[in-house]
């Protein structure tokens, strides 16, 4: 299924890639998550291009064209790159699961799972067989350079040059934060969102045709679905969207946690577990991560949004693609979105999407219920 891309250690091979995980947020710089017993470099994202991280006698530096240089390291005659360096450069979040020897990483939900000393990995809920194992040395995880393409082919542009991995900076100007003044004067009308005037659930009352599935009231209703899409049901159903939104708003203030498990067990959400959980209350089973959720339902124009539509965004970053889903939220009407995010309030919150940040990072909207 996955074609391996062989990358020589010396020479110049350019590969266009992209890494994301599935949940962006209000702030393009994800919040650091600090698990216990984390090996060095396996927790939290970076805040900028690293300037002085010592690695095998070298430092990550920025070239004149603002590219980042990640030094390679040979382990057992195989070229590796530090996971710490990659996480910081891409401003990823990460979490180390010590009991399973597993590193998970992504924007705001866990798109990648890497198992130490194993050739097995997971991306977007699908298993990947690596050509070389991920290894841990000196408390740091290392990724085989030969497998960077298979793992991160959607999120970054890089090349291998004279013993280094060169990660190219994005040529597109980015808005880092929701209230970044850089986008304050951008009023491009083609980027504006709009409500569908025929939305049967517009307003605050019940919709015109709320005869969908009954509301599930059991607190411990099993709505969690792991990274296995085989049991995901068809999702376009007729439900009471206003009731669903009211249900979601009941969780306002529940804290965000990157890569969290089922809410009944953890009491936390990331962006995609929140949407999965709320829609699961109405017997609509969504996949685990935002990228997978973005493959479901019917595509909707940004000019014709209805309450209950899922909205997907990329998470902007200096070294990231602007084409990959990194965040998901629920549109609730009147230019407002209900979502789980680490910032600005750290948790389930409502954001005004009538801002340049959201307009420019918007990728698509999908209707999974009506």
Instruction: Tell me which residues are annotated as active site.
Output: 271, 327, 339
Give every CB contact of residue 308 below 8 A, 6+ residues apart in sequence. 201, 241, 244, 245, 330, 331, 332, 367, 368, 369, 370
Q: What are phi and psi of 182, to 5 degrees?
A: -60, -25
Angstrom distance (rounded) from CA 342 to CA 256: 6
Nearest to residue 87, comparing CAs of 187, 166, 20? 20
Contact status, residue 356 vs residue 186, Cβ threshold 8 Å: yes
CB 45 within 8 A of CB 91: yes
Pairing of strands 298-300, 164-167: unpaired
Q: Rounded to an integer, what distance in angstroms lies between the CA atom of residue 210 and that of residue 163?
A: 61
Helix (H, G, I), strand (E, B) or coil at 208: coil
């Amino acid at each position: 299924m996955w074609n391996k891309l062989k990358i020589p250690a010396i020479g110049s091979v350019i590969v266009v890639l992209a890494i994301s995980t599935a949940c962006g947020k209000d702030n393009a710089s994800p919040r650091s998550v600090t698990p216990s017993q984390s090996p060095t470099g396996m927790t939290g994202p970076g805040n900028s291009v690293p300037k002085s991280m010592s690695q095998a006698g070298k430092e990550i530096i920025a070239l004149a064209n603002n590219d980042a240089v990640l030094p390679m390291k040979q382990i057992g005659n195989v070229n590796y790159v530090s996971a710490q360096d990659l996480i910081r450069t891409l401003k990823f979040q990460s979490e180390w699961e010590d009991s399973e020897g597993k590193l998970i990483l992504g924007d705001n939900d866990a798109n990648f799972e890497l198992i130490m000393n194993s050739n097995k990995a997971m991306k977007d809920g699908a298993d990947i067989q690596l050509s070389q194992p991920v290894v841990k040395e000196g408390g740091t995880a290392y990724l085989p350079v030969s497998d960077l393409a298979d793992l991160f082919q959607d999120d970054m542009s890089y090349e291998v040059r004279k013993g280094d991995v060169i990660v190219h900076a994005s040529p597109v100007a980015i808005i880092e934060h929701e209230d970044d003044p850089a986008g304050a004067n951008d009023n491009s009308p083609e980027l504006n969102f709009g409500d569908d005037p025929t939305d049967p659930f517009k307003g605050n009352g019940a919709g015109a045709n709320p005869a969908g599935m009954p509301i599930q009231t059991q607190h411990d209703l099993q709505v969690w679905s792991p990274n296995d899409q085989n049991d995901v049901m068809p999702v376009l159903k007729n439900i009471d969207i206003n009731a669903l939104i009211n249900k979601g708003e009941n969780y306002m203030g529940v804290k965000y946690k990157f890569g969290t498990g089922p809410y009944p067990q953890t009491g936390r959400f990331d962006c995609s577990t929140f949407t999965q959980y709320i829609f699961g209350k109405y017997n609509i089973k969504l996949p685990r991560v935002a990228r997978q959720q973005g493959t479901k339902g019917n595509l909707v124009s940004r000019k014709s949004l209805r309450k209950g539509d899922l909205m997907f965004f990329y998470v902007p970053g200096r070294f990231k693609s602007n084409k990959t889903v990194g965040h998901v939220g629920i549109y609730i009407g009147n230019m407002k979105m209900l979502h789980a995010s680490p910032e600005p309030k750290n948790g389930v919150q409502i954001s005004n999407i009538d801002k340049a940040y959201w307009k420019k990072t918007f990728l698509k909207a999908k209707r999974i219920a009506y």
